[in-house]
Copies of this chain bind each other. A is one copy, B any other.
Amino acid sequence: MVQIRVQSEPFDYGTECARFCADRQDVGAVVTFCGVVRDDTGDLAHMEIEHYPGMTERALGKIAEEAARRWALLDCLIIHRYGALEPGARIMMVATASAHRADAFAAADFLMDYLKSRAPFWKKETRAQGAQWVAAKNSDEAALARW
Among A12, A13, A17, A33, find the residue whose CB has the most chain B CB atoms closer than 10 A.
A17
Inter-subunit contact B32/A36 (CB<8 Å): no
Question: In the complex, A12 Cα to B19 Cα: how many Å?
Answer: 11
Question: In the complex, A109 Cα to B104 Cα: how many Å?
Answer: 10
Contact status of A15 and B13, CB under 8 A, knowing A27-B36, A39-B26? no
Inter-subunit contact B18/A12 (CB<8 Å): yes
Inter-subunit contact A88/B25 (CB<8 Å): yes
B-contact 0/1 string along A97-118, CB 8 Å cutoff? 0010110110011001000000
A residues sitting closer than 8 Å to B (CB atoms) are 12-19, 21, 23-40, 42, 44, 87-88, 90, 99, 101-102, 104-105, 108-109, 112, 143
A105-B105, A105-B112 given. 17 additional CB < 8 A pairs? A13-B18, A14-B21, A17-B18, A17-B32, A17-B34, A21-B36, A25-B38, A25-B42, A25-B87, A29-B35, A30-B33, A31-B108, A33-B104, A33-B105, A102-B143, A105-B108, A105-B109
